[in-house]
Structure formats: structure tokens, C-alpha cells
Amino acid sequence: MANYRIAPSILSANFAKLGEEVSAVINSGADFIHFDVMDNHYVPNLTIGPLVCEAIRPVTDAIIDVHLMVEPVDRIVPDFAKAGANIISFHPEATRHIDRTIGLIKEQGCMAGLVFNPATPLNYLDHVLDKLDLVLIMSVNPGFGGQKFIPEALPKLREVRKRIDESGRNILLEIDGGVKVDNIAEIARAGADTFVAGSAIYSAGKDSDPHRYDTIVSALRAELKKV
């Protein structure tokens, strides 16, 4: 079985007890903590900033995977690096100099990712794939949680998987948007190895589970074993 990673998005967590929610999903078998940053400018919503990242950093040793849906990008990158982010990803439309922003993220000691919205072409990868640690394909339009998966993301995943494999580099291929038990296997077959899931995980918590989310994380893993 391939090395798949499940990355719960805390956007769908109970913020009244966020530290507990972060610990619970990791103890339930998740791998990354996905951190959705929206600025009410690049996307039509306002979420969380570096102080929240700093607050959850002592709670877990898991990788904190920060997805910046902000514009401009460069100003806030050092703040998230200082707050404990491990991966910082951004949208090419949100910066004037993509190569420079990638360099800034790496200078801050973080892994760098580039994010592609449903209508964003992949040709940016022609110039920077060799510098990336992660490519994130959005299977919804960014800005809100709980949206339905856009099937057109699947051929996009296949194309990026081909590019990554041909490069010979160890680059994560992440999917974000509408991932759930009944489609995660199909998404994995298209080439994704890292799966962001927000409402699909946090809405499925069970008080009877030892860590609240054991059942749903196990169900996602069971589907991935079928690939």
C-alpha cells in the first residue's frame, strides 16, 4: 500500500476546544493538521492567523500544513514559520513573483507548496516543480468548507502525478475539497497521496470512539487499502 496521509482541516473543528480537537484527530490516526488561512480578500471568508498556529504547535508533534488563501503572501510567510508551520502553500495568483515566494518559504525553514484552483492552469509547474515539496489540487473553489467534490480535479491529479513521477523528486500530491469515504479511493487512484478532509472527519466524531474520530479515520484508511 502506498504511503497515504490524512490531513484533517481544523476549519471544521470545534474552536471552543481546538487543542483537544487537534490531539483527538492525531490520536485517531491522522497524519497532518491542515490549517486553512483565509483573508476575506483573496477568498470571501475570514478564518485564522499565525496566533492560532502558535497556540496549537505545543499540542502536537504532527506536521502543520498551512494553506494560505491570502493576498499578498510574502508578508505573512515569516509569521507562520515562526508560529510553527512545517509546510506553507500558496496560490500562484496571490503573488507577483512565484519563485521568490517559494524561496522565502524555504529560507524560513519550511517546505513549500503551490496550490491550483479548479480553473488554474498547471503551466506554472513548468517553471517551479523542481523547487516544490508539495502540489495541492483544489477540488472545490476555495473560501468555504463543506463543498462538493469537483470531478474535473481527477484528470488534473493524473497530470500532476505524471509530472512528479517524471521529475523523480519526492513531492507530495495533496487534494483538498469534498474528500470523503465514498470517493477517497477514486481520488487516490488518480494520483493523490495526501488527503485534506474537514467536515467529513469532524462531523463524524463519536463519543464512543476512544479518541472521538477513530471510526471515520479507520474508514478512510480502509478505502485507501482498496487502491
The average pLDDT across 104-109 equals 98
pLDDT at 9 over 70: yes
Q: Please check if 143 is assigned to a binding site.
A: yes
Confidence of residue 146 (pLDDT cuts 50, 70, 90): low
- Taking residues 110-139, what's their average pLDDT? 97
203-215 mean pLDDT = 97
Torsion angle of C-alpha atoms 93, 94, 97, 101, degrees rounded to 10: -130
Is 149 annotated to bind a ligand? Reply is no
Rounded-to-integer distance, Cα 45 and Cα 54, Å: 21
Instruction: Write out pLDDT tens, residues 20-40.
Output: 999 999 999 999 999 999 999
Please check the confidence at residue 91 and state whether its pLDDT lies above 80. Answer: yes
Looking at residue 161, the DSSP 8-state letter turns out to be H
Residue 36 marked ligand-binding: yes
Looking at residue 83, its pLDDT comes to: 98
Q: Which residues are catalytic?
A: 36, 176
Whether the predicted pLDDT of 129 surpasses 60: yes
Report whether pLDDT(144) > 90: no
DSSP designation for 13: S
Span 46-58, pLDDT tens digits: 999 999 999 999 9
Across the range 50-67, mean pLDDT stands at: 98
Average pLDDT (168-179) is 96
- CATH number for 5-225 (one of 3.20.20.70, 3.30.70.20, 3.90.550.10, 3.40.50.300): it is 3.20.20.70
103 assigned to a ligand binding site: no
> pLDDT averaged over the chain?
96
CA distance 9 to 34: 4
- Which pLDDT score, from 0 to 100, does residue 1 have? 44
Is the pLDDT score of 2 beyond 70?
Answer: no
> What confidence score (pLDDT) does residue 202 get?
96
| Cα–Cα distance, 153 to 142 (Å, whole number) | 13
- For position 25, what pLDDT does the model report? 98
**What is the maximum span of the chain, computed from C-alpha positions, in angstroms?**
49
Which band of pLDDT confidence, cut at 50, 70 and 90, is reported for residue 147?
confident
Distance (Å) of CA 102 to CA 12, 83, 110, 134, 192: 28, 18, 10, 11, 22
- Domain residues of the chain, as ranges? 5-225
Q: What proportion of the chain, given as a percentage, has pLDDT over 70?
A: 98
**Confidence band (pLDDT; 50, 70, 90) for 193?**
very high
Q: Which residues contact 51 (CB under 8 A, 6 or more apart)?
A: 83
Q: Is 41 annotated as a binding residue?
A: no
Residue 143's pLDDT is 72
